[in-house]
Structure 1
Amino acid sequence: MSKPFNMELLLSGVLTGSHATCQRHVRQSKVIQVEIAKRWQRATPWAWQRKHLIWFLEHHLSQRSEATQYYYTLTVRLLARRLGKPWVFNL
């Protein structure tokens, strides 16, 4: 039996700011992880491609407020930075 992926540990190197902000990014990254795993069967961020994150931002968040979309975009940018990818996500 394998351990579940620890998103907090992954993001710990790039998280800055207040405790509440860091917790929000961790919480949102877990939501992103679950949704991508359900749709694409990619369990860890190391297996993700840019198209998976674009899908999440465009389709999963399409009915959410602009503020929610903005905060998730910030989290996606942190994930891309942590993965060392040169991906650009526009708001």
Structure 2
Amino acid sequence: MSQPFDMELFLAGILTGSHASRRRHVRQAKIIQAEIAERWQRKTPWAWQRKHVTWFLEHRLDGRRDATRYYYLLTMRLIVRRLEKSWTLPPRGRV
């Protein structure tokens, strides 16, 4: 039986800032992970492609406030940096 993916451990090496900011990033990363896993059956960020990230930003955040989209974009940038990918994400969460 495999262990569930630990998003907090995955981001631990690159998270900086206040305790509240780190908690927010981990919480949002878990939401991103759950949404992509449900839609695309990709359980870990290592299996993600750019299209999965774009889908989340386009469709799951559609209709959200600009501030919410921006904070999710910041979290997504941390995930992409941790994956060491060269994906370019849209500015301000707009796709």
TM over 0.5: yes
Matches within 5 A, 1:3-18: 3-18=3-18
Q: Match of 1:69?
A: 69
Q: Distance in 1 between matches of 2:86 and 2:13?
A: 17
Helix, strand or coil at the partner of 1:26 = helix
Q: Which runs of 5+ in 1 are unaligned?
A: none
Count of aligned pairs = 91
Q: Match of 2:85?
A: 85
RMSD in angstroms over aligned alpha carbons?
Answer: 0.6
How far is the alpha carbon of 1:77 from its aligned partner? 0.3
Q: Which runs of 5+ in 2 are unaligned?
A: none
Q: Distance in 2 between matches of 1:18 and 1:59?
A: 29
Give yes or no for the alignment of 1:36 onto 2:40. Answer: no
Q: Distance in 2 between matches of 1:14 and 1:52?
A: 21
Q: Distance in 2 between matches of 1:27 and 1:81?
A: 17
**Could you tell me the percent identity over the aligned residues?**
66
Q: Match of 1:20?
A: 20
Q: Distance in 2 between matches of 1:14 and 1:86?
A: 16
